[in-house]
Amino acid sequence: MTLTVHLFAAARDLAGAAALPIDLPDRSTVSDLRAALAACVPALAALLARSAVAVDHEFADDTHVLTATAEVAVLPPVSGG
């Protein structure tokens, strides 16, 4: 399956794109997605470990199984003052 992964903030900056297509086998998890993204864009690897992943507008843990129709977003931590 091919998922379009939407990237925000620092993830978007590091990838140089607001979204990336990622190919994954059926029944892949969010953890598998993190690994595929890190392989596709190595500059994202360290940030992905600290980022939240949302699937269909809900935060998802690494064991969440993805579907071909899932809307996926990577949300890096933010700081402010």
Q: Which CATH superfamily is domain 2-66 in?
A: Beta-grasp domain (3.10.20.30)
Dihedrals φ, ψ of 71, to 5°? -95, 120
CA distances (Å), origin 55, targets 62, 72, 75: 11, 5, 11
**What is the model's pLDDT at position 69?**
96
Task: State yes or no: pLDDT of 79 exceeds 90.
Answer: no
Domain residue extents for the chain = 2-66
Say if residues 14 and 47 touch (Cβ distance below 8 Å): yes
Summarised one tens digit per residue, pLDDT across range 13-65 is 999 999 999 999 999 999 999 999 999 999 999 999 999 999 999 999 999 99
Look up the pTM and report it.
0.92
